[in-house]
Amino acid sequence: MTFVESMNIEGFVVAPGEQQRGRIPALELADGTVVSLPIHLINGTRPGPRVYLGAAIHGDEVNGIALLARALATIDPKALSGSIVCVPVQQPLALHADHRLPIAQFLKSPLDQVPADAWTCFPGDPDGNIAQVIAARLFGLITQCDYALDVHTPTRGGRYVPIAILGNPDLGPGAAKAEELAHALGSGWIMRGERGMYVSDGILCVEATRAGVPCFTFEIGEGGRLEEESVATGAQCVLNLLRSLGMTEGERVPPAKTHLMREFLGLRAHHGGLLVTEAELGQELKKGDRIGVILDVFGDVLETVTAPVDGLFVRATTLGTVSRGERVATLGLL
């Protein structure tokens, strides 16, 4: 049997076949309150990769916290090959606000809080503002791992199919491995885009992959809600990933079909009103197919939303109202 060493992370020493949960300090608030990151470390008894699992870097994305917990609860450290570093809440201040951003801090000092979204601040700056300090703290953990997964949901008012979103394809050898991992996840939906926020410099998965830790973003379910279906599906996907890396026993559960897409197309409202979505999330749409309608407050139809091109309905707006210019649906283009 090959010798496996104790795992030594942030002062926690985890013997082979053991696991530990704890907290690592990250920020200090005005009253001296220390904001800490929850961390779950699992050390296997056989050699294997070290995987980072993170969720809730946006505070209203609760499904990710629960699905990681669900997946890790099934893992026996004594039967694990490799090790796991899990930070289920990557931005606790945003979780307190149940908002995408740590909004109380932002309202207090908007200038100092920009950039406000830690997700966009990687590799971070230990001497920066809250978002940059959090990013630096997380990046220090991520770069001690071989692979990473960053779990999200859309922000409140949005709903995604379970979708693996890859970073920029020009990130070196790690980009190809990240794509392999996205297939291994087995959610049935993969976006391999070259434009937009998901592939921008500074995004967690982009900078992790660039630093040699292949990573992608996993979006599932709806912001602000805790949904059994998303938790169960997401946990299954995480276990698929670990199985494909040879870390845990069991068979991968492959999707019936995998949709590989190249671009997101956001459709925006031309009128303000009540949004009634008719198409089903995940539906394959042909150009001209009806997605929904926008009604005025008297119930008259102001606008019929249709697909401008062929595409897959991958992200729905779940808010009941839209203003002009707000997104009503997102299509994934092949």
User: Quick one: which segment of 9-17, 58-66, 249-257, 319-327 binds Zn ion (CB under 5 A)?
Assistant: 58-66
User: Quick one: which segment of 12-20, 145-153, 170-178, 303-311 binds Zn ion (CB under 5 A)?
Assistant: 145-153
Select the residue interacting with Zn ion from 99, 152, 159, 192 (CB under 5 A): 152
Tell me which residue has its CB nearest to Zn ion: 152
Where helices occur in the chain by DSSP H, the ranges are: 62-73, 92-97, 103-108, 130-142, 173-185, 204-210, 228-244
Query: CB 177: neighbour CB atoms within 10 A?
Result: 18
Residue 315 interacts with Zn ion (CB under 5 A)?
Answer: no
Report in angstroms how near the CB of residue 136 gets to Zn ion at its nearest: 19
β-partners of residue 165 are 191, 217
Report in angstroms how near the CB of residue 152 gets to Zn ion at its nearest: 3
Residue 50 interacts with Zn ion (CB under 5 A)?
Answer: no
User: Judged by CB, which is closer to Zn ion: 101, or 145?
Assistant: 101
CB-based contact 191:218 (threshold 8 Å):
no
Report in angstroms how near the CB of residue 150 gets to Zn ion at its nearest: 8
Closest CA to 302 of 329, 266, 275: 275
Report in angstroms how near the CB of residue 151 gets to Zn ion at its nearest: 9
β-partners of residue 260 are 190
User: Judged by CB, which is closer to Zn ion: 58, or 192?
Assistant: 58
Residue 210 interacts with Zn ion (CB under 5 A)?
Answer: no
β-partners of residue 295 are 274, 301
Closest CA to 68 of 235, 293, 318: 235
User: Judged by CB, which is closer to Zn ion: 44, or 54?
Assistant: 54
Report in angstroms how near the CB of residue 47 gets to Zn ion at its nearest: 33
Residue 156 interacts with Zn ion (CB under 5 A)?
Answer: no
Q: In what order do the strands lie in the sheet with 301-306?
A: 301-306, 290-295, 273-277, 321-322
Measured CA to CA in angstroms, residue 75 lies from 12, 237, 248, 255, 262 at distances of 19, 14, 8, 22, 34
Residue 177 interacts with Zn ion (CB under 5 A)?
Answer: no
Residue 58 interacts with Zn ion (CB under 5 A)?
Answer: yes
User: Quick one: which segment of 42-50, 125-133, 146-154, 239-247 binds Zn ion (CB under 5 A)?
Assistant: 146-154
> How many Å apart are CA 286 and CA 105, to the nearest integer?
44
Q: Is 314 helix (H, G, I), strand (E, B) or coil?
A: strand
> Would you tell me which residues interact with Zn ion (CB under 5 A)?
58, 152
